[in-house]
Every structure is written in structure tokens, then in C-alpha cells.
Amino acid sequence: MAGTASRIPAGAVAAGGLIGGYGIARWTGKRPLGGVALAAAGAVAARQWQQDAGGRAAAGLSAAYVAAFAGSHPLARRLGARPAVFTVAGGVALASWAVNRAVR
């Protein structure tokens, strides 16, 4: 049964992309490989945001996703890499949840 209920929430996909992209880059030593994972998860999440909440919400949440990735770098100087990535991933997941809740 591949219905809406069995789908992984877009916020979890986006958070997983941020965390997974970091992990892949860190553990393989190949930053571009982490970027591929980050981009793939972002594309899947953006498609879901489009379907669930419309184009404007998808554009805003996609921008938040990119901003979270970019913002994790300076934040890492203050918190450390892992805490920074988990912080921004949580922020994107929370934003996704809030937008989808507002639409429903």
C-alpha cells in the first residue's frame, strides 16, 4: 500500500538529508558525495512539500533547507559540527511540520 500514510514525512526526509549528507562527507572524506545525498534528499522533500502544501511553501521550505546547510557551517564553529548539523536539521523538520500543519 503506497498511499500518503506510508510516506516518510518531508521534514524527516530533509532532516535526514542534512544529517546523512554530513555523515557521508565526514566518514568517506568525500564532500561531493555528501553533497549528492544532501541534494537528493532536498529534491525528494521539495517534491513532497509541493504536493502537500503548494509551490510557495515548497519554495520557502527549500530555501530554508539550503539556508540550514549554509548556516550549519558558521554554527559549527560555536557548537561543533555534529551539534550544528542536528540543530539545523531539527529546525528544518520543525518548519516543515509547522507549514504542513498550517495548510491542513
Specify if 4 maps to a domain.
no
Per-residue pLDDT tens digits for 43-74: 999 999 999 999 999 999 999 999 999 999 99
pLDDT at 88 over 80: yes
- Domain membership of residue 16 (yes or no) is yes
Range(s) of the domain holding residue 81: 9-103
Residue 2 falls within a domain, yes or no?
no
Q: How many domains does the chain have?
A: 1
Please report the pLDDT score of residue 101 as a whole number: 84
DSSP 31-98: HHHHHHHHHHHHHHHHHHHHHHH-HHHHHHHHHHHHHHHHHHHHHHHHH-HHHHHHHHHHHHHHHHHH
**pTM of the predicted model as reported, rounded to 2 decimal places:** 0.90
pLDDT band at 100 (very low <50, low <70, confident <90, very high): confident
